[in-house]
Every structure is written in structure tokens, then in C-alpha cells.
Amino acid sequence: MKLSERIGNGERPFVIAGPCSAESEEQMMNVCDEIGKNQSAQMLRAGIWKPRTRPDSFEGIGEVGLKWLVDAGAKTGLPTTTEVANAKHAELALQAGVDVLWIGARTTVNPFAVQEIADAMRGSNVPVMIKNPVNPDLQLWMGAFERFEKAGIDDLAAIHRGFSVYNHRKYRNVPSWEIPIALKENRPDLPLICDPSHIGGRRDLLLEISQKAMDLNFDGLMIETHPNPDKAWSDAAQQLTPSNLVILLNDLVLRSQEFSTDVADVINDIREKVATLDDRIFDILSERMNLSEQVGKLKRENNITILQQEHWKKVIGSRLEKSDDYGLTQKFVRQLMDAIHQESIRHQTSIMNSDKK
Ligand code: PEP
Ligand code: MN
């Protein structure tokens, strides 16, 4: 069966575990053996070539590590996967017998590199998982899948690992969940795996991110697992021991997408009320736009600019003060008022430009 069918149809989540980097034969055997024994994962991962941000970091053990990964796969009976960043990596990984290749976030951004790997894999029927590019560019991510498909490789899956930002307070890579959700809308055929390790960058965030991914119906999780995380040669802060991986997976709450009919009836009643409220919101907004248009006419007749900065500052200030009273966040009220303001400016602009004399 194709990997993409196994991931999408099996029991959720499909878990890929193993170290950020293969460091030694002993480390690989140790961690993979434990993952195999505690049956926490359906696939083993290990980075062999590591595209690191700064040149003085550990850049991967290289070719020798491929054998350790493949041996760990044979011993545990689990399929294996590693990251390839160029055609040479892909050829070596295929020769060594790695079962699935993945394209890292720093490679997905580069269409030439993606094309080169797709060409090197032409004719093999090895599955490929593609991480999102480091920047939140849905088209670039979709383009990478298309390059593999054009090369005849159609057993594909997507891995969401978050997007680069400068000095974020919480995340190493912000999740921007709307991007994987949009990928799913465009490509419902692709299984979607979340990599909470690279999103969080810290092990204490792994459960929260994994739970969110499950609540958004992701199919699987890729979680970095190391026998002694604090001593890992790369990504020490985010790796988990195999026994903590078991705890994390047990703590996940897997909610169903289906409702029982009783619950569905109650929910449908509430949804109808929500739809009625939405209609009222639109009525009110339309009334508000009528008032804006009246102001727009007066501005036109009196030759006044549409944007009145000082007035708008006062409006925003007074509305933000009320946000607490309505149980709304200031952030939401700000976004809502900005959207209303922009629409109102559009209405006034069309008044300004209509039947000019
Ligand atoms: C990794 O999985 O170890 C890795 C380097 O990931 P990413 O490409 O998401 O940075
Ligand atoms: Mn890593």
C-alpha cells in the first residue's frame, strides 16, 4: 500500500520518531530500539545531512549514518526516513535502502534544488514527504509537490514545521495554521503531518502543538526523539526521550470529526442561531456603511479629505476601551475596526468619485 494511503487511513496519529541527527551507531540503535519496543511510532527518522543555519554547527554525520538508520529499521521492522537536500543525497539514500525521503524546509524554498532531487528520483517509487518552505508561501509548497508529480513520484505527504520569524516570544517557528489548512483545502489528497519539534523548539510546547494539530485533523506527527536529549548534537532543547514520547502520545486527546445524531441536532440548532446573528451583523454593517456614505457626501460637498486621522484615533480608542465589557480581546476589536474602517473608506471613495461636477 502507498505510504500516503497508510498515513491518511490508518489510526491517527501516524507517528514518525527518531533523533534530529544520527550521531553514532550506538545512539541510533539505542533510541530506535526503544521506539520499536514501546511501539510509539510507525516510522523512524534521523537527519544524516543537516542544513544548519550557522556554519559552525554540527552539519550531520554524513553517508556513514545511512547504514545505522537502515539497520535500525531492519531491527525494529519499521520503515525509515531521512532528509535529502540535493541529488547526491537522494542517490545515496536510495542506494542505502532508506524507505522514504523528506525534503527539508530550507530546500523547499529553492525550486532548482527541489527539481534536481525530483529528477534524481525519477523512476524510483520511493515516497517523499515535503516540509513547508521556511517562509509562509503556499504556492512554493504546492509547487514542490507538483515537481515530484511531474517526475512520476506521486506517493507524497506534507509536513508542517512552522515558519521563520525573528525572535518570537513563544515559538521557534510560528505555526501559522492557516497555511497547512489552505494546503489541505487545495490538496485534500495529501496526508498532513505536523512537526511540533521544529515549531516549538522547546519540549514543553510539544503536547500543546501536537494537540492543536490533532484538533485540526492532521494525520500524523513527526517528533524528534533522543536517548539523552540534553546532550544531543543538534536541537537539544526540543528533543524527547522515547519514554516521554509515550507519555505525550497518551496525553493526546483524539477527538472525532463525527457527531452522534443527538449532539448533531443540538449543534445544528445552535448553528442556526449563529447564522441568524451573522445576518444581523451584516444588517448592522450595511446600516453603518449607509451612515458612512452620508458623511462621504458631506465631505465631498465641503471638499474635505476622506481620512480624518485624529477622528479615527479617537474612534479606535473609545471602541478598544469597551472590548473587555463585551468579552472580546483588544486584538480582535482592533482587527474588526480596521476592517470596518477600510470598507467604509471604500464606500466614501466611491461617493467622492461619483457624479463629479
Ligand atoms: C529536521 O527535521 O531535523 C530539520 C532540519 O527540519 P526543518 O527542515 O524543518 O528545519
Ligand atoms: Mn532538528
Residue 301 and residue 240 in one domain = no
Residue 214 and residue 339 in one domain = no
pLDDT at 11: 78
Distance CA 86, CA 88 (A): 6
Nearest atom, ligand 1, residue 105 CA: 8
Separation of 104 CA from ligand 1 center, angstroms?
5
Cβ of 175 less than 6 Å from ligand 1: no
Separation of 22 CA from ligand 2 center, angstroms?
11
Domain assignment of residue 256, yes or no: no
Distance CA 246, CA 244 (A): 5
| Cell representation of residue 234 | 543538534
| 230, β-bridge pairs | none
The CATH code of the domain that includes 276 is 1.20.59.10
How many CB atoms neighbour CB 35 within 10 A?
Answer: 25
pLDDT at 260: 85
* Residue carrying C-alpha cell 515535503: 130
Cβ of 226 less than 6 Å from ligand 1: no
Domain assignment of residue 275, yes or no: yes
Cβ of 196 less than 6 Å from ligand 1: no
Nearest atom, ligand 1, residue 222 CA: 2
User: Which residues of the chain carry a pLDDT beneath 70?
Assistant: 10, 355-357
What percent of the chain has pLDDT above 90? 88
pLDDT tens sequence across 73-124? 999 999 999 999 999 999 999 999 999 999 999 999 999 999 999 999 999 9
Residue 328 and residue 309 in one domain = yes
| Cell representation of residue 103 | 525534503
Residue 287 and residue 218 in one domain = no
pLDDT at 355: 67
Domain assignment of residue 64, yes or no: yes
Domain residues for 324? 261-352
Q: What is the mean pLDDT of the chain?
A: 95
The residue count for the chain: 357
Q: How many domains are there within the chain?
A: 2
Domain assignment of residue 168, yes or no: yes
205, 180 Cβ separation under 8 angstroms:
no
Pocket test for ligand 1, best of 53, 83, 89 (most atoms within 8 A of CB): 83
pLDDT at 356: 58
Residue 240 and residue 281 in one domain = no
Domain assignment of residue 175, yes or no: yes
156, 149 Cβ separation under 8 angstroms:
yes
Q: Which of 116, 126, 163 is nearest to 141 (CA)?
A: 163
Q: What sections of the chain are H helices per DSSP?
A: 3-9, 25-38, 64-76, 87-96, 105-108, 111-121, 138-150, 178-186, 196-200, 206-215, 242-251, 261-301, 309-322, 330-353
Q: How far is CA 252 from CA 114, 214, 221, in A?
A: 34, 8, 11
